[in-house]
């Protein structure tokens, strides 16, 4: 059931990218739903397979990182090769599609941490991985270790999102969650 729902959400993201005017908020809502589903599934995994000891937390983080980074590195290498081969075409598609040149941009693109605030990303949607890594760290630090903490975290996130949607900026809510990006950085 969750797999089918995730497939439908992925279709909404694709629809949003292929035809923004058809469903302007479909992709954004789908991304929110992905975050909720992922939070639920990862919290369930933490509670059933890892104990709240340094060893358990270490195993959880090691499993998350070995699942994420090899695929990311392969995609990053391919993106860098394509951008190097076709720099003008890449820049015309998205200003973020450039090879990182500063040490800060290079480090952010390699380690993903801090990538949300960077305007140069060979993989533009990789900003979401920065948020994902932050969520993993918060989960490992204990926000997913007890049902009451998990519920409090969920309710605080929900309240913050509702506030941003109603009183803040939709773009801010969608693009950065609990972080504030500088204006003009392409997402």
Q: What's the pLDDT tens digit per position in 137-172?
A: 888 888 877 788 888 888 887 887 777 777 766 555
The answer to the question of residue 156 being in a domain is yes
Return the SS3 of 113: coil
The answer to the question of residue 11 being in a domain is yes
The answer to the question of residue 184 being in a domain is no
Q: What is the average pLDDT across 2-9?
A: 90
Per DSSP, 144 falls in state T
The b-or-e profile of 56-69 (16+ CB within 10 A means b, else e) is ebeebbeebeeeeb
Q: What is the pLDDT of residue 169?
A: 61
Q: What is the pLDDT of residue 185?
A: 43
Give the pLDDT band (50/70/90) at residue 182.
very low
Q: How many domains, the chain?
A: 1
Q: What is the average pLDDT across 46-65?
A: 88
Q: What is the pLDDT of residue 59?
A: 93
Q: What is the pLDDT of residue 78?
A: 96
The answer to the question of residue 170 being in a domain is yes
The answer to the question of residue 60 being in a domain is no
- Percent of the chain clearing pLDDT 70 (strictly above): 89
Residue 119 contacts residue 184 (beta carbons within 8 Å): yes
Average pLDDT, the chain: 82
Tell whether the model's pLDDT for residue 126 goes beyond 90.
no
* Interatomic CA distance for residues 28 and 18, integer angstroms: 14
Most confident listed range (4-18, 58-72, 93-107, 114-128):
58-72
Per DSSP, 124 falls in state G
The answer to the question of residue 130 being in a domain is yes
* Interatomic CA distance for residues 25 and 16, integer angstroms: 7
Q: What is the pLDDT of residue 187?
A: 44
The answer to the question of residue 181 being in a domain is no
Residue whose structure tokens are 């509702």? 162
Give the pLDDT band (50/70/90) at residue 13.
confident
The tokens for 28 are 């954004």
The answer to the question of residue 135 being in a domain is yes
Q: What range does the domain containing 102 cover? A: 2-54+65-176
């Amino acid at each position: 059931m969750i797999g089918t729902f995730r497939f439908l959400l992925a279709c909404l993201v694709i629809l949003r990218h292929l035809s923004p005017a058809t469903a302007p908020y479909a992709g954004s809502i789908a991304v929110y739903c992905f975050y909720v589903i992922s939070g639920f599934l990862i919290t369930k995994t933490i509670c059933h397979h890892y104990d709240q000891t340094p060893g358990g937390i270490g195993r959880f983080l090691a499993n998350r990182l070995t699942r994420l980074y090899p695929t990311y590195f392969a995609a990053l290498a391919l993106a860098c090769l394509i951008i190097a081969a076709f720099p003008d075409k890449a820049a015309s598609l998205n200003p973020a599609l450039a090879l990182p040149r500063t040490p800060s941009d290079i480090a952010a693109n390699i380690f993903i941490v801090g990538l949300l605030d960077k305007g140069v990303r060979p993989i533009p949607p990789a900003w979401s991985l920065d948020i994902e890594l932050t969520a993993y760290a918060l989960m490992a630090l204990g926000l997913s270790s007890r049902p009451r903490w998990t519920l409090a975290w969920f309710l605080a996130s929900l309240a913050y999102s509702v506030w941003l949607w109603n009183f803040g900026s939709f773009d801010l809510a969608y693009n950065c969650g609990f972080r504030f990006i500088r204006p003009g950085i392409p997402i």
